[in-house]
Structure 1
Amino acid sequence: MEVDSQVSRQQGILEMEVDRQVSGQGGILKRENKGKKLILKRSVLLINCILLAIGTCGGPLLLRLYFVHGGKCIWLSSLLQTAAFPVMIVPLLVFYYLRRKNSPQGTKAKPFIITWRLFVGNMVFGIFLGVGNYLYSSGSAILPVSTSSLLFSTQLAFIAGFSFLMVKQKFTSYSINAVVLLIVASLILGIHSSGDRPDGVSNKEYYIGFIKILASALLGGIFLPANELLYKKAKQVMTYSLVIEMQVVISIFASAFSTMGMLVSKNFQVIPKEAKIYEIGEAKYYTVLVLSAIACQFYLLGTVGVIFSASSLFSGIMISFLLPVTEIFGVIFYNEGFTSEKGVALTISLWGFISYFYGEFKQSKNLNKQTRPNTGSTTDDAGVTSLNQEYEIGSRSDRHSTSMRVAPE
């Protein structure tokens, strides 16, 4: 009897040891899987940040190049900001191929996964964006790139306000400080900008352009948080391929809005005439149009991609951070004057950006300290919610409440 009990105890110990080993191996595999998903998530965020950087810096410079050398069609410039959406067919085909390959349905997998609810919402966003593009083009035709870029940086203040109202974005003293500094920078630029007025532009026209750029920034400040809200309210899993489909719908209807404007103003007939008298040549005229459209498409894709991967406020921060770089390029390539007022406004803007990033870094660090002792995880671990069979990153409608964010909620 005693021998049997000893054998039984040894078997129990052995089983417990095996269970511990299996559990340990499972934990290692789980951590490795989370690590792979986190790397993929950050890779998607990095790619979209690069696209956003190319679009934010290249788009305004190329659109201004169109006007500098003789282009005059405002509606055409507006159309260029969304007209390159057909290039998105390539990634959509790749995602569709992966969906067919990995789906149990096989060849019956749907070519598009967007629902009617999301389609209608993005249709409205597209028209909304078309209005903003027209205002931006109207202002860019008058103002230098350096001035319009600084003015457009006020978009961050509008994004912050509407993020608070729409998606309950939390703020710190640092983010509030950044918003206030950006507003002060734009006011300095507006009050002391008469010396920056281009030749042949009256004071009235100059300030109308000034107001149009600000109005465009306001619409952009509504557009980005509204996109994030739509992601939250979507009644389906949000994946990166779905985000691209939504972006294509937005671009189609924004382009349709601008196309209607071109038809009414008869701008299509003007294009070949304008190309023949373009200062740097007819071939370069069409090259400028194509490159402008591609750069602007990168901007839009990068914007919605960063919102998907992080938040609308982070997207706004990225845009605002890159606008001073665009301003410097405008001074270099177009010999625009860099006045003392622009220098002060640029310095205050950079101060605001640094304040915001420092505040978010500090808040994220404190959150990690609070989270690690209780759960053994970090906010980045919480941000890895799902990875579907297409290697797309996504989550449910409330994903932004737990996702990796620049400003954790």
Structure 2
Amino acid sequence: MGDSSAVEQSLVQGEEVKREEIISQNESQLNGPTLVHYKWWIQMIIYSTLVLSTQAIGTLLGRIYFEKGGNSKWLATLVQTIAFPILIPFLFIKPKKTNKNIEIIKKPSFIIVSSLYTILGLFIAGNCMLYTIGLQYLPVTTYSLICASQLGFNAIFSYFLNKQKFTPYIVNSLVILTISSSLLVLHNDDSSERTNNKTSRQKYIFGFLSTLAASAGYALMLSITQLALQKVFKKESFRLIIEMSTYQSISATMVLLIGLFASGEWKKLVKEMNEYELGKISYVLNLIGTSICWQFYTVGSVGLIFKVSSLFSNVISILGLPVAPVLAVIFLHDKLSGIKVMSMVLAIWGFVSYMYQHYLDDLKDKAEKRGKLVELSEVNNLIERS
């Protein structure tokens, strides 16, 4: 009898412990997601703002550099990666202490990590050079709108490398944004713009193809970055975002420095600065401002890959494309033709379509969480009845 009573008491205690665990889990499901949800949106806003603002300003400053007397492709490319030292202080920020019960993820080997950053650095160096050529030979409006094609490339790479799921709204977004970029084929006949920008037809085509190739390369790099985060690092943290942004920039900077000195363009930089139309101080400030903008753009871009996907990071980048042409029209007196306006409208439409899909996914996620809470409540009721 005593043993039977002890067994019953043990079972009751077990039921109580199980009940407390379910109640605790239930409460965490009710309270936790709200805080996590708000934190996620705050981070998204910060990273998106970095991408949108720095991309527009960096593009505009790059175009001003060439229009006012700058002529070094290697220098214009180098400033897009060389500002990595401003991120180094963030590496000393100590990460928050995590729960000891959480499984510790094994760090990847030094060889794997260094190889990854070297590959990404080479990608960045090559893409930046192609983007620089495009920016030198094309008006800001045309250059920016061609960059929209990178979303289509990103969709293809994301499908094969990142197993990206495509819904009707996402497909609609990609198609519209692709059409937006394709409209520039009609814009190629605008010979007056090429004359005003002192760009020959051959250079215009070269700039067009370079920008298109850079868009494809950048899209591939984003997908590789997402794949690396999933397969190599297998974690998410602000420190890792800074590390990736810093180390891949270091790798790219080393390659571009070699190119700058090997090409001999460094010998002409003093003369270029002295002959710059806006003066020496403006020349230096332009380069500094451009380098800071693109470094923070890298942080924002990698951050968005962390939080959502490489495709979403690219969508935010595409959304910022109309900003640079508008600024170019205001400050550089660039022409804004009807075709460009139509392309901008389509680009915004495509972004709205993508965001609507994200909104539907968010509603679905909340519905699934509510379903789990209902199941937990039912189990809780069964325990109380027993």
Change (3 A) 1:122 1:34: same
1:34-183 counterparts in 2 under 5 A?
34-95=33-94, 98=95, 115-183=110-178
1:243 and 1:199 map into 2 onto residues whose CA distance is 39
Q: Describe the shift of the 1:133–1:15 C-alpha distance in structure 2 as closer, same or farther (beyond 3 A).
A: closer
Q: Work out whether residues 119 and 246 of structure 1, in 8 Å CA contact, stay in contact via their aligned partners in 2.
A: no
Pick from 328, 331, 339: which aligns with 2:329?
Answer: 331
One-letter code of the match for 2:340? Answer: K
Check 1:271–1:321 CA distance in 2 against 1; reply closer, same or farther (3 A cut).
Answer: same
**Structure 1, residues 179-232: CA drift from partner, whole Å, max 9, x if none?**
222222222212323343143211111111111111111111111111001111
**Who is 1:387 aligned against?**
none
Change (3 A) 1:359 1:17: closer
Structure 1 pair 265/94, CA: closer, same or farther in 2 (3 Å)?
same
1:189 equivalenced with 2:187 (yes/no) = no
**Between Structure 1 and Structure 2, how many residues are aligned?**
357
Cα deviations by residue, 1:148-199 (Å, 9 ceiling, x for unpaired): 1111111111111110010110111222222222222222212323343143
Indicate how the Cα distance of structure 1 residues 181 and 32 shifts in structure 2: closer, same or farther if over 3 A, else same: closer
Quote the Cα distance in structure 1 between the aligned partners of 2:129 and 2:273: 21
Q: What is the percentage of aligned positions where both structures have the same residue?
A: 30
CA distance in 2: counterparts of 1:291 and 1:302, whole angstroms: 17
Alignment of 1:332-351 (within 5 A): 332-351=330-349
The CA distance in 2 between the partners of 1:261 and 1:15, in whole Å, is 70
Shift of 1:322: 0.9
- CA spacing shift, 1:169–1:276, aligned 2, 3 Å: same
Aligned partners of 2:165, 2:43: CA distance in 1, in Å?
Answer: 24
TM-score w.r.t. length of structure 2: 0.84
Task: Show structure 2 runs of 5+ residues with no match.
Answer: 101-106, 375-386
Question: Using a 3 Å threshold, how does the CA distance of structure 1 residues 23 and 219 change in structure 2: closer, same or farther?
Answer: closer
Structure 2 Cα separation of the partners of residues 143 and 342 of structure 1: 14
SS in 1 for 2:266: coil
**Unaligned ranges ≥5, structure 1:** 105-111, 378-409
Letter in 1 for 2:71: K
Deviation readout 1:250-300 (Å, 9 max, x if unpaired)? 101111121111011122222222111111110111000000000000111
| Distance (whole Å) between structure 1 residues aligned to residue 183 and residue 21 of structure 2 | 65
Compute the displacement of 1:366 (Å).
4.1
Is the contact between residue 135 and residue 143 of structure 2 (CA under 8 Å) also seen in structure 1? yes
CA RMSD of aligned residues (A): 2.9
Tell me, yes or no, if the aligned pair for 1:228 and 1:308 is still in contact at 8 Å: yes
3-state SS of paired residue (1:81): coil
Residue identity in the other structure for 2:360: K
User: Letter of the aligned partner of 2:133 in structure 1?
Assistant: S
Q: Does the CA-based 8 Å contact 2:304-2:313 persist in structure 1?
A: yes
| C-alpha contact (below 8 Å) 2:52/2:319 kept by paired residues | no
Equivalent of 2:371 in 365, 369, 374: 374
Q: Deviations for 1:87-133, whole angstroms, at most 9, x for unmatched residues?
A: 111111123xx57x8899xxxxxxx9984312211210110110000
